[in-house]
Amino acid sequence: MEKFKIDKEALKSKFNKEKFIDAANTIGDKAKQAADVATKFTKDSGEFLETQYKNAKDEIELKVFSPVFENEIKEKIQSNPIMLRIEEDGGKRNSSEVCVGSIGHIESIKGKDILTIYNQFANDYGFNFYPVLVNTFYLSNPYVENMYICIDDYFNYLKRAKVDELEQIAFALGAKHVKVTLKEVRKQIVSNSIKGSVSGRFGGDSLKGNHAISNNVTDYSELEVAKDVEFEGNDNPIYPELVYFKEEKDILNLIQMRLDKNINQIKSKTYTLNYVSSKDIREETATSIDAVLKHLHLSGNASVASEVEAKNRIVFEYTIKF
């Protein structure tokens, strides 16, 4: 009996040990599985959080850097037609993934969106830069598509272009003499409308009392003779190519009169033509451009607004003889 009891205990001990080993193995497997799951969860969570962070970072950088890509350039030009900035490259934008492949960017300055194109790409999209391509601000030529004029040359260029076209018009029409004079409306310190006491008779009616007297004659001061040219002249006029004066009624009438040989031919005439047309920069636009330049500490000894204001007072006196 005793021997049997010892064997029984031995078997029991052996059984418990095996169960313990099995249980331990089972627990180990489950613990390992749990550890594997925890590791995977931690890894997946980390990757998820990293992805979310990257997406948020990219979204912020897209808003801050506002990169412009090749397929967007036409749309951006149409929505920002007046002012264009050329820079060497993207600067700090070069280190951002969202700017990879960009050719420029949009920057909001004083409420105005400014399109910047990087120098190396500026000649790739049919733009014509006058006088040369440098890293600076340009204003669009309102009469010539895709032409941008350096802001410091802008007003002088347009003046020369308009004067030259008036000369070419005379040349094409076979004129013998053409003279282009720039005149400025004289500023007045005292209004030309005054109130005065009037008495007398007009048309049989008696006039007496205070009346407004207005002098509507515009007084000009001469600024410069921009062109004074003699031609041999000819009687075979051709229609001139018009860019800056193609909507000027006086010029269109002049061309019609000169080309129509079946009626009384024009011999000479002097026109007063507006220097500024509806296509030129308005004063409010000029003011916003000045605000951008001032914000960037690029203001010089003149302003766009002052130039526009001065040009609004100028006319061309155009004398042509056949």
- Write out pLDDT tens, residues 252-262: 999 999 999 77
User: Would you state the pLDDT for residue 202?
Assistant: 44
Q: Would the pLDDT of 191 be above 80?
A: no
**How much of the chain, in percent, has pLDDT values that exceed 90?**
57
User: Would you state the pLDDT for residue 168?
Assistant: 98
Mean pLDDT across 105-109:
91
Helix 154-172 vs helix 249-259: crossing angle, to nearest 10: 20
pTM over 0.85: no
User: Would you state the pLDDT for residue 219?
Assistant: 85
pLDDT in tens, 214-250: 555 678 899 999 999 999 999 999 999 999 999 999 9
Beta strand 147-150 pairing with 177-185: unpaired
Name residue 249's amino acid: K
Give the chain's radius of gyration (CA, Å).
Answer: 41
What sign for the dihedral angle of Cα 284, 117, 56, 92? negative
Q: Would the pLDDT of 21 be above 60?
A: no
Residue 91: band (very low, low, confident or very high) from pLDDT cuts 50, 70, 90: confident
Q: Would the pLDDT of 128 be above 90?
A: yes
- Identify the CA nearest to 274 among candidates 251, 304, 303: 251
Helix 283-295 vs helix 304-311: crossing angle, to nearest 10: 160
Beta strand 83-87 pairing with 137-140: antiparallel
Mean pLDDT of the chain: 83
Q: How many CA atoms lie within 13 A of 290 on its CB side?
A: 16
* Contact assessment for residue 243 and residue 145, using Cβ atoms and an 8 Å cutoff: no
- Identify the CA nearest to 70 among candidates 97, 90, 100: 100
Give dist(CA 269, CA 307) in Å, integer.
30
Give me 42's structure tokens.
């931690």
- Identify the CA nearest to 117 among candidates 131, 109, 127, 108: 127
Give me 111's structure tokens.
């409420």
User: Would you state the pLDDT for residue 175?
Assistant: 97
**Counting beta carbons within 10 angstroms of the beta carbon of residue 284, is it exposed (0 to 12), middle (13 to 18) or buried (19 or more)?**
exposed
User: Would you state the pLDDT for residue 90?
Assistant: 84
* Contact assessment for residue 134 and residue 150, using Cβ atoms and an 8 Å cutoff: yes
User: Would you state the pLDDT for residue 295?
Assistant: 93
pLDDT in tens, 37-59: 445 555 555 565 566 656 677 67
Identify the residue with better confidence: 190 or 181.
Answer: 181
> ∠273-271-167 over CA atoms, to 5°?
80
For residue 226, the surrounding DSSP H or E stretch is: strand 220-230
User: Would you state the pLDDT for residue 8?
Assistant: 47
**How much of the chain, in percent, has pLDDT values that exceed 70?**
74
DSSP class of 261: T
- Identify the CA nearest to 141 among candidates 131, 72, 311: 131
pLDDT in tens, 207-222: 555 555 555 567 889 9
User: Would you state the pLDDT for residue 15?
Assistant: 46
